[in-house]
Amino acid sequence: MADFVNGFWNMYVIVIVLVSILACAVLLYIQGKAKFTPGKTMGHVWDDTLEEYNNPMPKWWSWMFIITVVFGLVYLVLFPGLGALPGVLGWSSVGQYKIERARMDEAVQPLFQKYEAMPIPAVAADKQAMEMGKRLYLTYCMQCHGADARGAKGFPNLTDGDWLYGGEPDQLKQTIAEGRMGVMPPHAQLGADTIKDLANYVRAMSGLPNDAVRAAKGKEAFTSAGCIGCHGPDGKGNLAIGAPNLTDNVWLYGSSEATIIQTITDGRQNKMPAWKAFLGDAKIQLLAAYVYSLSHQGK
């Protein structure tokens, strides 16, 4: 009920709940006062032989209704159920969650502290730590990067060793903890012809088929349009600002001429959320170690 700031909804829930319980009580009362003639039919017949008799409800059924009504009223006194009223026991799902989380943290904290004190490469070599890291990954990371960590369009592959902001342990921890905001500004002002030249030059840098004449023009535009400011004169990118390497044939959105033209024309914007406040340092250490291990398997 904390989500409903208007007092009307508090009263709405209280009324609905109480009316529902009282309706059961009224039904029981009416049934208790009604007159029945056992053995007499009501004149309703189905399938030739199935008849409705004027019999009272079985006692066990009536008692089930009575128990339900009493239980409902007792429950609403003890536990929250009537709008924002907390119940005399003071129980809440949020409080229960905090108790269970505190109990779990107390049990696993020594283990987390052990791994937090170890260098990430050493954590990555620990089998138990990697099992924990994998569970964390599958809980919080697979929605974007995939269960196999190979990513998807717009979401980086974490297994190939290609890193926009660097793949060293401290860089991985910073990425997970603080998040990243990747921005490729739009360059529609360059014009469609120049942008197509640039796209062919970019494809040429990574060894993809291209129009050589356009690629030559694109090389000049790569400097004059200011692309070297982010990607460098050799197109190898800049880890400090997350500018990708254009020479390694690793593509976040695709390598077709049409896709590159769209990227240059419209720009791109991508956000990696920050997890420090939610996960804490110890879990981030395990996650960073697990991601580190994905690109260092067999090394």
CATH code, domain carrying 165? 1.10.760.10
**45-77 per-position pLDDT tens digit:** 888 888 888 888 888 988 988 999 999 999 999
Share the mean pLDDT of the chain. 92
Tokens of 41: 């039919």
**217-234 per-position pLDDT tens digit:** 999 999 999 999 999 999
Q: Is the pTM of this model over 0.75?
A: no
Q: Place 5 in a pLDDT band, splitting at 50, 70 and 90.
A: low
Residue entry with tokens 């592959």: 157
- Residue 212: domain span: 183-272
Taken in order 196, 201, 203, 204, the sign of the CA dihedral is: positive
Instruction: State yes or no: pLDDT of 19 exceeds 90.
Output: yes
Domain count, the chain: 3
**Are 191 and 266 found together in one domain?**
yes
Q: What is the pLDDT of residue 42?
A: 83
User: What Rg do the C-alpha atoms of the chain give, in angstroms?
Assistant: 33
**Are 237 and 248 found together in one domain?**
yes
**Are 152 and 30 found together in one domain?**
no
**Are 71 and 116 found together in one domain?**
no
